[in-house]
């Protein structure tokens, strides 16, 4: 959706890069309309130099696929596009092919809120290669940003040590849609609430907010403004105390809190939005306790992130809740996940055998994995994940041995103990969702459970331990063989 333009749900078909459409036309014109492809969406490095990522955005993929339809208005627009060399960009026959075209895709994905790791598929897309190509950009747009935000928020929530974190990022987000995505992904990752009222309506997220500095400045004095707000919102009263002088603001909050008590109400909290948050929160806590008002909570904001919050607690700051805005909404200091979508197998038609393919590069980290991949996650006796194994069943050694080859170092192997479970679940078949939409609360709980089970050495901020991800031996052999074949064809030896 968009608040700034005239759009409708099916406009997602044009929410794409132009080359997806030019490639689709090329496939159609080359007689490959029935050719089938298998693509995987994955990322190559954990964001924020961390040890994991939180999968998010996949909960909206089924809706994306079902709404991906080219109507008459879309066809009319595409017919008007001109090629740089002159003439129409798209041929009439291809546009007729697109008219009312529905995506015939089968999609497997990691459940939303689950933790994921580099190079393993978060989403696997199978179907006509044209359809797979058409959905690429829109799918990555959903999954990349929300996974990045969810990971950032999970880190902030971890730093907050159980204290509530509210998403305050709407005004700094990348447009209205970005603000909604931030609120949704943050809630999945553990944020307690959002300031975004529209996100509250759409997703059922708790909303939070009281007043700004302008409220205080609109009155003759700070005390007058506090009294007016307490009278207006006695059941939602958090007073912002740093408009002029925090020390005086705390004193004025105590006056109003006592007046509220006489009226049978209670001041919920104060918020500090500037200055030395550790020192000022300590001053506020001492003042409230000495005044016999120990129930008043202390909330802080002001360009917070996981490191700032961690530092505040290290200084003994008695803070009860956090409003995190800019650095959450913009995912500071990493603006993108870098997730990609790569072809891993192809076949001439829906009944033919799959042919695995790989992309080679002079940059080793850009090489891809072949085949129809799935991911097995192994767990110890307590249910804690111990490693992820990427498997292609068509080449797997019998029984899928517990030994895996490191995904980047072919000379390093791991022995995996325990029982595995599949990580990818079918969410779309034949272009239609396979189950009713999952509620956001289920994804939120899954995220909390996944992070709780993950080894703290993996979730720590500084030098996190690398979580083992590797290839089943048959897949490792397939990768090596394909790389050698491609190297022989090009005349340049290649090591996978």
Q: Which residue has the tokens 């393919």?
A: 357
Cis preceding linkage at 358, omega within 30: no
Q: Where in the chain is the domain with CATH 3.20.140.10?
A: 34-68+103-151+335-490
Q: Taking the domain 210-302, which CATH number applies?
A: 3.20.20.70
Do 374 and 123 contact (CB within 8 A), yes or no? no
**What is the Cα–Cα distance from 403 to 398, expressed in whole angstroms?**
12
The one-digit pLDDT tens for each residue of the chain (496 residues) are 445 445 567 788 999 999 999 999 999 999 998 899 999 999 999 999 999 999 999 999 999 999 999 999 999 999 999 999 999 999 999 999 999 899 999 999 999 999 999 999 999 999 999 999 999 999 999 999 999 999 999 999 999 999 999 999 999 999 999 999 999 999 999 999 999 999 999 999 999 999 999 999 999 999 999 999 999 999 999 999 999 999 999 999 999 999 999 999 999 999 999 999 999 999 999 999 999 999 999 999 999 999 999 999 999 999 999 999 999 999 999 999 999 999 999 999 888 999 999 988 766 667 899 999 999 999 999 999 999 999 999 998 876 557 899 988 888 998 888 889 999 999 999 999 999 999 999 999 999 999 999 999 999 999 999 999 999 999 999 999 998 887 777 665 554 4
Tell the CATH topology of 34-68+103-151+335-490. nicotinate phosphoribosyltransferase (3.20.140)
CATH 3.20.20.70 placement within the chain: 210-302
């Amino acid at each position: 959706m968009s608040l700034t333009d005239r759009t409708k749900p099916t406009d997602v078909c044009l929410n794409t890069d132009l080359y997806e459409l030019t490639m689709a036309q090329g496939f159609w014109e080359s007689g490959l309309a029935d050719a089938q492809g298998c693509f995987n969406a994955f990322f190559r490095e954990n964001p924020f130099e961390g040890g994991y990522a939180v999968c998010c955005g996949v909960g909206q993929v089924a809706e994306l696929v079902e709404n991906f339809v080219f109507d008459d208005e879309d066809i009319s627009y595409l017919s008007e596009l001109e090629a740089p060399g002159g003439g129409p960009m798209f041929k009439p026959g291809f546009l007729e092919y697109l008219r009312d075209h529905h995506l015939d895709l089968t999609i497997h994905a990691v459940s939303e809120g689950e933790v994921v790791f580099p190079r393993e598929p978060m989403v696997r897309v199978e179907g006509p290669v044209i359809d797979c190509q058409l959905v690429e950009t829109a799918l990555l747009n959903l999954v990349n940003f929300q996974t990045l935000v969810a990971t950032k928020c999970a880190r902030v929530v971890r730093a907050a040590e159980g204290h509530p974190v509210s998403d305050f990022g709407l005004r700094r987000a990348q447009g209205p849609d970005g603000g909604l995505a931030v609120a949704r992904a943050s809630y999945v990752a553990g944020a307690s609430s959002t300031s975004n009222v529209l996100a509250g309506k759409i997703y059922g997220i708790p909303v939070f907010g009281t007043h700004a500095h302008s409220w205080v400045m609109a009155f003759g004095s700070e005390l007058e403004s506090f009294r007016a707000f307490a009278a207006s919102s006695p059941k939602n009263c958090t007073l912002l105390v740093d408009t002029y002088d925090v020390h005086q603001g705390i004193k004025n909050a105590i006056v109003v809190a006592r007046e509220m008590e006489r009226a049978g109400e209670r001041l919920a909290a104060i918020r500090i939005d500037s200055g030395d948050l550790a020192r000022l929160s300590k001053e506020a806590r001492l003042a409230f306790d000495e005044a016999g008002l120990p129930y008043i909570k202390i909330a802080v904001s002001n360009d917070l992130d996981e490191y700032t919050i961690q530092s505040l607690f290290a200084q003994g700051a008695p803070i009860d809740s956090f409003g995190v805005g800019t650095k959450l909404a913009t995912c500071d200091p990493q603006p993108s996940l870098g997730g990609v979508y790569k072809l891993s197998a192809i076949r001439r038609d829906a009944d033919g055998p799959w042919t695995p393919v790989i992309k080679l590069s002079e940059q080793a980290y850009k090489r891809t994995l072949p085949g129809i991949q799935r991911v097995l996650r192994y767990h110890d006796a307590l249910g804690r994940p111990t490693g992820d194994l990427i498997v292609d069943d068509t080449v797997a050694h019998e029984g899928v041995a517990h030994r895996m080859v490191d995904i980047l170092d072919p000379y390093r192997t791991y022995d995996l103990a325990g029982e595995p479970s599949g990580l990818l679940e079918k969410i779309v078949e034949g272009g239609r969702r396979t189950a009713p939409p999952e509620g956001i609360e289920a994804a939120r709980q899954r995220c909390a459970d996944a992070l709780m089970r993950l080894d703290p050495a993996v979730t720590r901020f500084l030098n996190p331990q690398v979580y083992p991800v590797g290839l089943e031996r048959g897949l490792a052999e397939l990768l090596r063989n394909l790389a050698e074949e491609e190297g022989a064809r090009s005349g340049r030896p290649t090591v996978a």
